[in-house]
């Protein structure tokens, strides 16, 4: 069947157009380039001879905008990719993308930790199969969501309205349309972080749909799995955030990308814009096709053009919070979805996928990409909603409701000094504490006295003659310990131990800042 379609397609693509569309540059993987060489009517001749050199497994070509959907169709039929290439407005942009395809460095300053279980559990409890299913069906009801059609615009505006309706009670949330040079806008919902608003976490899915070449007004392209399922999964995470009154420490940006199917154009515009503004995106997550259960494992992490550290973080999240699920790895090649746009700009990005790449939904890019052909419900997508909820809660941190919990950096009290005195015989010990102390402040113990007594200081537990944080080792009773209270410690202790056979009188002044 694929061979018949491919031969028919070649004939369609060879038909010349009397109307010249805008010429654009694309970057495409080496395997995709070989496919296009057999359909050279799609590529400006000068590109094949002048700019067709391969670098990092990526080739630069010049194409007419009118042929983008046909190229997308070829990539889908021959390589099972959505998009499979990236569109650029200039040769310079294309050259930069070609260089970055393997030399991109990602943000290495992100610290991953798993310690926000209360928030994760609350968000995951709100993820609803029926909600996701309803959103998939609503988006599938549009004739199509193609980037140049009126229903493509209508569907983007519907998503905007839906996200606004969900977050309307939140003063920290705003929804906007992000306009491009074509008709369909992208949609961005921003939830401002409470303590670190300049650190941004992006969760995205593409809102357009296609059946490949010839998609236009009236063409039926329901795109239930590709990618109404991703938008629906994001929408339910948003709903969970509002239902639990979750307040993230860091800023969350939920994005519905336009024109993914014709070269990742919407996400490329946005990621490039964020980079030019030096926005600090500490993590990005792509949800493209979440509802077709086509392989043995529940979730597959795309292993190419993604960030390995964040991928490992996702696997750890699944092991911790979704231990009944199995997670595998698969690969999809160059520019198979919008994660590539963030990767090319140097941002850490991950792409959890519904199946192995070869085991994914066979109905996409056809009028048969319906909810019924994904099993009739959204049970598989729920897994991705719960993973995304864990990702949000553990990367953005934050809290539920109005109570932020203990202040992670409380204002310290006023420094104070206490004095202690006594007498110790040789080998005897006197213990003092605990003193409630503030991390990052000074703890000072100054001892004076007769003969020879020894001073010991320790944080977190009482000192012994073997275990201590400070032991001055002076030859008399004049000893001093001056230490900074370590992070995570809240208690300090000191001990005086006699050494002289004659006994020793002592006096210790302890200066510290209580919590």
Task: Give the Cα separation of 494 and 430 in Å (integer).
Answer: 9
Res. 153: pLDDT tops 60:
yes
Q: Are residues 94 and 117 in the same domain?
A: no
Would 405 be classed as within a structural domain? Answer: no
Res. 187: pLDDT tops 80:
yes
Q: What is the DSSP string of 168-215?
A: TT-TTEEEEEE--SSSPPEEEEEE--SSEEEEEEEEEEE-----STT-
Q: Are residues 366 and 468 in the same domain?
A: no
Q: Are residues 90 and 228 in the same domain?
A: no
Lowest mean per-residue pLDDT among 123-127, 291-295, 410-414: 410-414
Query: Once rounded to an integer, what is the mean pLDDT over residues 127-148?
Result: 98
pLDDT confidence of residue 49: 39
Query: Once rounded to an integer, what is the mean pLDDT over residues 370-395?
Result: 98
Asked if the peptide bond before residue 511 counts as cis, ω within 30 degrees of 0, the response is no
pLDDT band, very low/low/confident/very high, at 91 (cuts 50, 70, 90) = confident
Single out the residue of 460, 335, 49, 392 nearest to residue 189, CA to CA.
392
Single out the residue of 39, 36, 16, 18 nearest to residue 27, CA to CA.
36
pLDDT confidence of residue 82: 61
Would 407 be classed as within a structural domain? Answer: no
Would 411 be classed as within a structural domain? Answer: no
- The last residue of a domain, from among 400, 428, 453: 400
Task: Give the Cα separation of 139 and 128 in Å (integer).
Answer: 17
The more confidently predicted of residues 409 and 437 is 437
pLDDT band, very low/low/confident/very high, at 16 (cuts 50, 70, 90) = very low
Model confidence pLDDT, tens digit, residues 302-327: 999 899 999 999 999 999 999 999 99
pLDDT band, very low/low/confident/very high, at 361 (cuts 50, 70, 90) = very high
Lowest mean per-residue pLDDT among 124-133, 214-223, 358-367, 468-477: 468-477
Q: What are phi and psi of 206, to 5 degrees?
A: -95, 145
Res. 285: pLDDT tops 50:
yes
Lowest mean per-residue pLDDT among 136-140, 185-189, 345-349, 411-415: 411-415
Q: Are residues 426 and 287 in the same domain?
A: no
Query: Once rounded to an integer, what is the mean pLDDT over residues 209-221?
Result: 94
pLDDT band, very low/low/confident/very high, at 3 (cuts 50, 70, 90) = very low
Give percent of the chain above pLDDT 90: 70
- The last residue of a domain, from among 400, 430, 460: 400
pLDDT confidence of residue 64: 76
pLDDT band, very low/low/confident/very high, at 402 (cuts 50, 70, 90) = confident
**3-state percent helix, strand, coil for the chain, nearest multiple of 5:** 35, 25, 40
Asked if 99 and 56 count as a contact pair (C-beta separation under 8 A), the reply is yes
Would 147 be classed as within a structural domain? Answer: yes
Task: Give the Cα separation of 447 and 424 in Å (integer).
Answer: 13
Would 238 be classed as within a structural domain? Answer: yes
Query: Once rounded to an integer, what is the mean pLDDT over residues 138-157?
Result: 98
Would 408 be classed as within a structural domain? Answer: no
Task: Give the Cα separation of 310 and 350 in Å (integer).
Answer: 7
CATH number assigned to the domain comprising residue 483: 2.60.120.380
Res. 501: pLDDT tops 60:
yes
Res. 373: pLDDT tops 90:
yes
pLDDT confidence of residue 77: 62
Task: Give the Cα separation of 447 and 470 in Å (integer).
Answer: 13
Q: Are residues 119 and 259 in the same domain?
A: yes
Q: Are residues 243 and 141 in the same domain?
A: yes
pLDDT band, very low/low/confident/very high, at 21 (cuts 50, 70, 90) = low
pLDDT confidence of residue 68: 73
pLDDT confidence of residue 11: 36
Task: Give the Cα separation of 229 and 207 in Å (integer).
Answer: 10
Asked if the peptide bond before residue 434 counts as cis, ω within 30 degrees of 0, the response is yes
Lowest mean per-residue pLDDT among 202-216, 260-274, 331-345, 356-370: 331-345
Res. 487: pLDDT tops 50:
yes
Model confidence pLDDT, tens digit, residues 420-430: 999 999 989 99
Res. 50: pLDDT tops 70:
no
Would 28 be classed as within a structural domain? Answer: yes
Residue 491: how many other CB atoms lie within 10 Å: 16
Residue 404: how many other CB atoms lie within 10 Å: 14
pLDDT band, very low/low/confident/very high, at 235 (cuts 50, 70, 90) = very high
pLDDT confidence of residue 53: 61
Domain count, the chain: 3
pLDDT band, very low/low/confident/very high, at 283 (cuts 50, 70, 90) = very high
**Mind telling me the catalytic residues?**
206, 226, 260-261, 288, 365
Res. 10: pLDDT tops 50:
no
Strands 299-302, 327-330: pairing kind? parallel
CATH number assigned to the domain comprising residue 352: 3.40.630.10
- The last residue of a domain, from among 40, 68, 100: 100
pLDDT confidence of residue 466: 85
Q: Are residues 306 and 362 in the same domain?
A: yes
Asked if 72 and 84 count as a contact pair (C-beta separation under 8 A), the reply is yes
Q: Helix, strand, or coil here: 386? A: helix
pLDDT confidence of residue 502: 92
Q: Are residues 289 and 379 in the same domain?
A: yes
Would 282 be classed as within a structural domain? Answer: yes
Task: Give the Cα separation of 141 and 353 in Å (integer).
Answer: 24
Task: Give the Cα separation of 24 and 422 in Å (integer).
Answer: 86
Res. 42: pLDDT tops 60:
no
Chain centre to alpha carbon of residue 438: 34
pTM, two decimal places: 0.68
Q: Are residues 427 and 465 in the same domain?
A: yes
The more confidently predicted of residues 72 and 166 is 166
Model confidence pLDDT, tens digit, residues 107-124: 557 889 999 999 999 999
Q: Are residues 85 and 136 in the same domain?
A: no
pLDDT confidence of residue 51: 57
pLDDT confidence of residue 474: 83
Q: Are residues 86 and 157 in the same domain?
A: no
Burial tier of 61 (Cβ tally within 10 Å: 0-12, 13-18, 19+): buried
Q: Are residues 388 and 432 in the same domain?
A: no
The residue segments making up the domain with residue 456 are 416-512
């Amino acid at each position: 069947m694929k061979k018949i379609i491919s031969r028919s397609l070649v004939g369609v693509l060879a038909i010349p157009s009397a109307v010249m569309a805008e010429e654009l540059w694309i970057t495409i993987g080496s395997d995709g380039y070989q496919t296009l060489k057999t359909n050279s009517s799609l590529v400006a001749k000068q590109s094949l001879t002048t700019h067709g050199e391969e670098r990092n497994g990526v080739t630069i070509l010049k194409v007419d905008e009118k042929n983008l959907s046909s190229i997308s169709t070829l990539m889908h039929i021959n390589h099972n990719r959505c998009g499979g290439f990236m569109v650029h407005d200039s040769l310079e942009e294309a050259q930069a993308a070609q260089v970055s395809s393997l030399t991109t460095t990602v943000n290495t300053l992100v610290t991953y930790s798993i310690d926000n279980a209360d928030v994760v559990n609350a968000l995951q409890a709100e993820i609803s199969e029926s909600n996701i299913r309803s959103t998939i069906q609503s988006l599938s009801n549009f004739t199509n969501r193609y980037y140049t059609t009126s229903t493509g615009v209508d569907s983007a505006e519907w998503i905007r309205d839906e996200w606004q309706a969900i977050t309307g009670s939140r003063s920290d949330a705003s929804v906007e349309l992000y306009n491009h040079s074509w008709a369909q806008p992208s949609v961005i919902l921003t939830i401002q972080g409470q303590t670190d608003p300049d650190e941004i976490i992006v969760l995205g899915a593409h809102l357009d749909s296609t059946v490949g070449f010839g998609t236009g007004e009236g063409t039926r392209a329901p795109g239930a799995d590709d990618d109404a399922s991703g938008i629906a999964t994001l929408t339910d995470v948003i709903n969970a955030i509002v239902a639990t009154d979750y307040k993230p420490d860091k800023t969350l940006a939920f994005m519905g990308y336009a024109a993914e199917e014709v070269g990742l154009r919407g996400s490329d515009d946005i990621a490039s814009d964020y980079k030019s503004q030096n926005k600090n995106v500490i993590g990005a997550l792509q949800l493209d096709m979440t509802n077709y259960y086509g392989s043995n494992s529940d979730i597959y992490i795309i292993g190419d053009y993604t960030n390995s550290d964040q991928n490992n973080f996702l696997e750890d999240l699944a092991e911790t919070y979704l231990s009944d699920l199995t997670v595998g790895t698969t690969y999809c090649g160059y520019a198979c979805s919008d994660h590539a746009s963030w990767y090319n700009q140097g941002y850490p990005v991950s792409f959890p996928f519904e199946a192995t790449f070869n085991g994914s939904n066979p109905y996409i890019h056809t009028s048969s990409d319906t909810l019924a052909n994904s099993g009739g419900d959204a049970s598989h997508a729920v897994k991705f909603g719960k993973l995304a909820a864990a990702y949000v809660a553990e990367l953005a941190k934050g809290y539920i409701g109005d109570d932020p919990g203990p202040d992670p950096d409380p204002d310290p009290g006023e420094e104070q000094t206490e004095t202690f005195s006594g007498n110790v015989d040789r080998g005897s010990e006197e213990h003092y504490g605990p003193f409630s102390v503030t991390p990052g402040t000074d703890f000072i113990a100054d001892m004076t006295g007769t003969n020879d007594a020894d001073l010991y200081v320790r944080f977190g537990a009482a000192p012994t003659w073997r275990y201590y944080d400070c032991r001055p080792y002076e030859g008399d009773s004049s000893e001093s310990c001056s230490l900074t209270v370590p992070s995570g410690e809240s208690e300090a202790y000191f001990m005086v131990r006699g050494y002289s056979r004659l006994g020793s009188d002592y006096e210790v002044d302890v200066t510290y800042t209580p919590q």
